[in-house]
């Protein structure tokens, strides 16, 4: 089987096995503040586990990845979900994998727009942040607390992600 990965558009349905997509989903919208404001309600749920854990809000600034990119490692957070919401309005990549007996299977690559975020479910395999084209900032909501919240895996043979914006102006 080819080690070259295809890139899929990020949709709520396709991403559902891995978590939630954070975007202005019309079915989640309700007007508040006397009609002044659209509230896109409960797009994702933060999940933290363990005594003494807390939900924290961070900003990550990710340097652009160089493509084609070799995926050699995946990670997961057994004690908490982790969300990324772009601040820079630039497309970025979401790389996840199903769990196969305690290891990540073949990665799936989703191209997210600059207006789409994701919430990785607790213990879902994913690749660390992948910015495209320029340094990009994200609001990240995840967990702080006791215990080991990072599990890493290294593939014996890497997978390759082609340039997601080939032929497009970045
Ligand atoms: N290490 C860290 O906080 N970042 C990763 O979890 C990531 O998914 O980018
Ligand atoms: Ni992570």
Q: pLDDT, tens digit, for every residue of 29-57?
A: 999 999 999 999 999 999 999 999 999 99
Q: Given this model, what pLDDT does residue 56 score?
A: 98
Q: What fold, for 7-161? A: Jelly Rolls (2.60.120)
Q: What is the mean pLDDT of residues 87-91?
A: 96
Range list of H helices, 2-156: 12-15
Q: Whose CA is nearest to atom 5 of ligand 1?
A: 128
Distance 33 CA to ligand 2 centre (A): 35
The dihedral built from the CA positions of residue 108, 17, 143 and 45, taken in this order, carries a sign that is positive
Q: What is the per-residue pLDDT across 1-12, written as a single tens digit (0 to 9) for each?
A: 899 999 999 999
Going by pLDDT thresholds of 50, 70 and 90, the confidence category of residue 170 is: very low
Distance 60 CA to ligand 1 centre (A): 9
ipTM, two decimals, is 0.94
Ligand 1 neighbourhood includes 129 CB (under 6 angstroms): yes
Going by pLDDT thresholds of 50, 70 and 90, the confidence category of residue 78 is: very high
Could you tell me the residue ranges of all domains in the chain? 7-161
Q: Give Cα 157 to chain centroid, integer Å.
A: 23
Distance 39 CA to ligand 2 centre (A): 27
Q: Given this model, what pLDDT does residue 167 score?
A: 63
Q: How many CB atoms sit inside 10 A of residue 108's CB?
A: 19
Q: Given this model, what pLDDT does residue 1 score?
A: 86
Q: Given this model, what pLDDT does residue 166 score?
A: 85
**Count helices and strands in the chain by DSSP H and E runs:** 1, 16
Distance 83 CA to ligand 2 centre (A): 9
Please, what is the average pLDDT of the chain? Answer: 97
What is the best residue among 84, 128, 137, 151 to mutate for testing ligand 1's pocket, by most ligand atoms within 8 Å of CB?
Answer: 128
Ligand 1 neighbourhood includes 124 CB (under 6 angstroms): no
pTM: 0.96
Ligand 1 neighbourhood includes 78 CB (under 6 angstroms): no
Does 157 score more than 80 pLDDT?
yes
């Amino acid at each position: 089987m080819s080690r070259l990965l295809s890139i899929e558009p990020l949709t709520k349905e396709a991403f559902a096995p891995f978590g939630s997509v954070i975007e202005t989903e019309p079915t989640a919208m309700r007007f508040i503040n006397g009609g002044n404001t659209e509230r896109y309600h409960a797009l994702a749920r933060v999940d933290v586990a363990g005594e003494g854990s807390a939900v924290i809000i961070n900003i990550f600034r990710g340097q652009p990845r160089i493509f084609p990119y070799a995926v050699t490692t995946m990670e997961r957070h057994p004690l908490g979900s982790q969300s990324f919401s772009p601040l820079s309005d630039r497309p970025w990549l979401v790389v996840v994998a199903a769990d196969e007996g305690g290891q990540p299977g073949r990665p799936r690559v989703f191209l997210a727009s600059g207006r789409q975020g994701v919430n990785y479910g607790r213990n879902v395999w994913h690749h660390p942040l992948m910015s495209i084209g320029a340094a990009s900032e994200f609001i990240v909501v995840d967990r702080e607390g006791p215990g080991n919240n990072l599990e890493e895996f290294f593939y014996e043979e890497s997978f390759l992600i082609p340039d997601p914006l080939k032929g497009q102006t970045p």
